[in-house]
Chains A and B, each alone.
Chain A
Amino acid sequence: MQQIWHILHTQGGEIVQSIGQHIGLSLISLLIAAVIAIPLAIILMNHQRLAKVMLQITSILQTIPSLALLGILIPLVGIGTVPSIIALVIYAVMPIFQNTYSGLTTIDPSLEEAATAFGLSRRMKLLRIELPLAMPMIISGIRIAMVMIIGTATLAALIGAGGLGTYILLGIETNNNALLIIGAVLSAILALVFGAGIDWLGRLTFKKAGIVLATLVVLIGGFAGYRQVTNSQTTLTVAGKLGSEPEILINMYKDLIEHDHPNIKVNTKANFGATSFLFKALQSGSIDIYPEFTGTVLESLVKTKQSASHSPAKTYQLAKSALKSQYQMAYLKPMAYQNGYDLAVTRQFAKKYHVKTISDLIQVENRVHAGFDPDFNQQKDGYPGLRQAYGLKFASIKTMEPSIRYKAIANGKVNLVDGYTTDPEVQAYHLVVLKDDRNFFPPYQGAPLMSEKLLTDHPELRTTLNKLAGKVTTTDMQKMNYQVSVKHQKAAVVARDYLRSHGLLD
């Protein structure tokens, strides 16, 4: 609870912004869906067969998993708000169409007969009789769509559209229940508030409801138009994966680029869900730059026959040439830090047994009780490979969820854990990372990835971004991650402080 207040206190501005994004996304999608579905139902109300076909189509669209839909949309329309809105609209059309259609077609036939016999025009019949009679059904359709949209809109965070999903995804990723609760509770509150708003709208007369909707359309349209106009200068979009580290890095990129080239404006899009989303977005040109790890490039992005080298320089060269030949992408020089697997022990353990490197563990292997991530315990580049490379055999091994490993070592349940080199917990729990003195772990170095075309258009970017090459040590990164994800400082501030204190920015 205390943590929730702390986060609300320190990140209030960002949370409010996320709520705004969430409301914006949901409202625009809901309006577009209604504007598509209601007229469609009106047109098809007298064409039963076509209406059935349409119902089937919308139901099929509904069954596409939302993640798959987002993945499909990225190469077509890029990232951010547009694909999110398209996906949400696709989901919301069905309930609104279905309810409007059945509302219009289940009107008492004698009322229809009366309206016809009185010589009412098609338009008057629709506006004065049919739509008002179908209104309760239409409203309930819009309500269903709205609840669905607010829920699904949390996934928009995965492709850089922001919203409350950012907190839910971050919360899951970093095992931070406070963030998770903030995201989830705020989404639920939004759903309740919107539900009440829609009920209120449903009780208004037809004319008044129309006026309210028209006002909303004009407001949102005007806002979007305004943003379009003000966004007209050259902009680059720099994106990053989920978590504090990529967010710090992209803020560094932004500061450096904007400092060196005042004519370029940089948008940052943090907390993308998956590597493949980012890579697709880069391919389609909807983002311009993102930081990627050398190891990840070789493992999952390019096709390569050579097995990953244990030398960081070799790995980088391999990744760079594969990206160039297979995707025409430029991969600039990596930073100093490595974010690969490591082994960490408590400070007392290191002191007591004089352990500094992984080789040092061999003499005390009978005293080592390890807590490992299940993946690490099974993968070739994890414990099985490590055993062979060093000839190690620990006294006992427990596998546990990655997020609770650090708690286990802090509570003395185990005395050695695997981790990532830049995990902030290393600092938070006063751990010592053991040196991989036989270079067993494959190197994971971060470096900026972009299309070759971008560098051709803006060759000056190479010099600017290469200022970070060889900078930012593992300890630096750990400290910054600690400040952002444990102390809840703003990534932009932490990034700028680093650049200033290292003379990269004045």
Chain B
Amino acid sequence: MIEFKQVSKQYTEQLALDDLNLTIPTGDFFVLVGPSGSGKTTTLKMLNRLIEPTDGDIYFDNQRLIDYELRDLRLQMGYVLQNIALFPNLTIQENIAIQAESLGWPRKERVARARALLEQVDLDPDQYATRMPSELSGGEQQRVGIIRALAIKPKVVLMDEPFSALDPLSRKQLQDLVLQLHRELKMTFVFVTHDMHEALRLGQHIAVMRLGHIQQIGTGEEIIHHPANEFVRGFFENEQTPRPTTVQVLVDQGRGAATTMAATLPVTATVNDLAAALKQGPVVIGTASGNRTLTTADLLDYLAQTEVE
């Protein structure tokens, strides 16, 4: 368990964290989310003491962080960086095993551990273990970055916006990967992001931060349905009302003609379903305010209009 008790961080010009109180249960997937300058990364880096608080105390398993021997503490924590930061002079295998090497594991064990982890994230050890980081794609590199943090089976894994520089497809795959790893390994994950979508997707508990203050802590459900204040409401607004489907938009714009015929497609259908159905002729969409008949011409007309926009 990790506890922040009245933690503040004062830089010469500004107050980065103000009287922060926070509890992270053991085995949790805890996400710190907020816009830039909210203090989320500062909070994360206090856990492995890259940043020291100017006031207050942080407890890890009921012992103050500053009472731990610094290296012992850091060797109980994995760390994933935003820009991955694989050591370019070391092979993939050596990168993964760097903390194990620091702990003095025998070489054989280090190699075995690195290969097992590569296997776990679908990177063929025979192919990847002895490559250099520069020979890997961005997504592959971040996979290695993640398993590097898991190599010594740490109690806590800290992740500082690890996916923000990746393309949407890689990001989604890696989100699935960390969720799966969290389920399997039962470690405490602390994850920082500025993307509320990512926060909702990953976090068991989410802390929303702004300007060095915590706005709300809770599950994704609680935060969406019971936002603590206007800021939280605004931040998650888009999540509350999901984007309407194209079919819904077509109906809302009053395209097609009102009909009493029975509906052949619900209003929640995708645009693909609609296109497929239109091949057989006009389609009747069922809505609460009366059914409407849509033709191919209606869809084309709509598409042409959005194209212009």
A155–chain B nearest beta-carbon distance, Å: 39
Please measure, in the bound complex, the distance between the C-alpha atom of A7 and the C-alpha atom of B169, giving whole angstroms: 75
Binds B, one of A37-45, A116-124, A240-248: A116-124
Taking CB atoms and an 8 Å cut-off, the chain B residues in 66-113 that contact chain A are: 70-75, 77, 79, 81-83, 85, 87-90, 98-99, 101-102
Interface flag for B48 (CB, 8 Å):
yes
Please measure, in the bound complex, the distance between the C-alpha atom of A115 and the C-alpha atom of B50, giving whole angstroms: 11
Please measure, in the bound complex, the distance between the C-alpha atom of A110 and the C-alpha atom of B41, giving whole angstroms: 14
A117 touches B88 (CB 8 A): no
A124 touches B85 (CB 8 A): no
Which B-chain residue is minimally distant from A131 (CB atoms)?
A: B89
B89 touches A114 (CB 8 A): no
Please measure, in the bound complex, the distance between the C-alpha atom of A115 and the C-alpha atom of B88, giving whole angstroms: 12
Given A120-B98, A124-B101, A128-B98, A114–B87 Cβ distance below 8 Å?
Answer: yes
B98 touches A110 (CB 8 A): no
Which B-chain residue is minimally distant from A132 (CB atoms)?
A: B89
Which B-chain residue is minimally distant from A116 (CB atoms)?
A: B50
Which B-chain residue is minimally distant from A134 (CB atoms)?
A: B89
Please measure, in the bound complex, the distance between the C-alpha atom of A111 and the C-alpha atom of B74, giving whole angstroms: 16
Per-residue A-contact encoding for B228-259, CB less than 8 Å = 1, 0 else = 00000000000000000000000000000000
Per-residue B-contact encoding for A122-158, CB less than 8 Å = 1, 0 else = 0010001100110000000000000000000000000
Please measure, in the bound complex, the distance between the C-alpha atom of A124 and the C-alpha atom of B71, giving whole angstroms: 12
Which A-chain residue is minimally distant from B78 (CB atoms)?
A: A118
Interface-central residue, A111, A114, A121, A128, by most chain B CB under 10 Å: A114
B87 touches A119 (CB 8 A): no
Interface-central residue, A113, A118, A121, by most chain B CB under 10 Å: A118
Q: Pick the contact of B102 from A113, A114, A118 — CB < 8 Å?
A: A118
Given A116-B50, A129-B87, A121–B81 Cβ distance below 8 Å?
Answer: no
A114 touches B85 (CB 8 A): yes
Interface flag for A457 (CB, 8 Å):
no
Taking CB atoms and an 8 Å cut-off, the chain B residues in 33-88 that contact chain A are: 48, 50, 70-75, 77, 79, 81-83, 85, 87-88
Interface flag for A108 (CB, 8 Å):
yes
Which A-chain residue is minimally distant from B69 (CB atoms)?
A: A119
Q: Pick the contact of B75 from A114, A119, A129 — CB < 8 Å?
A: A119
A133 touches B88 (CB 8 A): yes
B234–chain A nearest beta-carbon distance, Å: 32
Give every chain B residue within 8 A of A108 (Cβ-Cβ). Answer: 85
Please measure, in the bound complex, the distance between the C-alpha atom of A108 and the C-alpha atom of B74, giving whole angstroms: 21
Give every chain B residue within 8 A of A121 (Cβ-Cβ). Answer: 71, 102
B102 touches A119 (CB 8 A): yes
Please measure, in the bound complex, the distance between the C-alpha atom of A246 and the C-alpha atom of B83, giving whole angstroms: 70
B83 touches A110 (CB 8 A): yes
Taking CB atoms and an 8 Å cut-off, the chain A residues in 322-352 that contact chain B are: none
Q: Pick the contact of B99 from A111, A113, A118, A133 — CB < 8 Å?
A: A118
Please measure, in the bound complex, the distance between the C-alpha atom of A133 and the C-alpha atom of B90, giving whole angstroms: 10
Give every chain A residue within 8 A of B81 (Cβ-Cβ). Answer: 110, 113-114, 117
Please measure, in the bound complex, the distance between the C-alpha atom of A133 and the C-alpha atom of B85, giving whole angstroms: 13
B89 touches A113 (CB 8 A): no
Give every chain B residue within 8 A of A114 (Cβ-Cβ). Answer: 79, 81, 85, 87
Give every chain B residue within 8 A of A110 (Cβ-Cβ). Answer: 81-83, 85
Q: Pick the contact of A124 from B82, B89, B102 — CB < 8 Å?
A: B102
B90 touches A128 (CB 8 A): yes
A125–chain B nearest beta-carbon distance, Å: 9
Given A110-B83, A114-B79, A114-B81, A120–B102 Cβ distance below 8 Å?
Answer: yes
Which A-chain residue is minimally distant from B103 (CB atoms)?
A: A119
Please measure, in the bound complex, the distance between the C-alpha atom of A108 and the C-alpha atom of B133, giving whole angstroms: 15
Which B-chain residue is minimally distant from A119 (CB atoms)?
A: B74
Given A113-B50, A128-B90, A119–B85 Cβ distance below 8 Å?
Answer: no
Give every chain A residue within 8 A of B99 (Cβ-Cβ). Answer: 118-120
Give every chain A residue within 8 A of B75 (Cβ-Cβ). Answer: 118-119
B71 touches A119 (CB 8 A): yes
Give every chain A residue within 8 A of B158 (Cβ-Cβ). Answer: 117
B50 touches A117 (CB 8 A): yes
Interface-central residue, A111, A114, A119, A132, by most chain B CB under 10 Å: A119
Which B-chain residue is minimally distant from A135 (CB atoms)?
A: B89
Please measure, in the bound complex, the distance between the C-alpha atom of A108 and the C-alpha atom of B83, giving whole angstroms: 11
Give every chain A residue within 8 A of B71 (Cβ-Cβ). Answer: 119, 121
Taking CB atoms and an 8 Å cut-off, the chain A residues in 97-119 that contact chain B are: 108, 110-111, 113-119
- A–B Cβ pairs within 8 angstroms, 13 of them: A110-B81, A110-B83, A110-B85, A111-B87, A113-B85, A118-B75, A119-B70, A119-B73, A119-B75, A119-B102, A120-B102, A121-B102, A128-B90
Given A117-B79, A120-B99, 5 further pairs, Cβ under 8 A: A110-B82, A110-B85, A113-B50, A119-B73, A119-B99
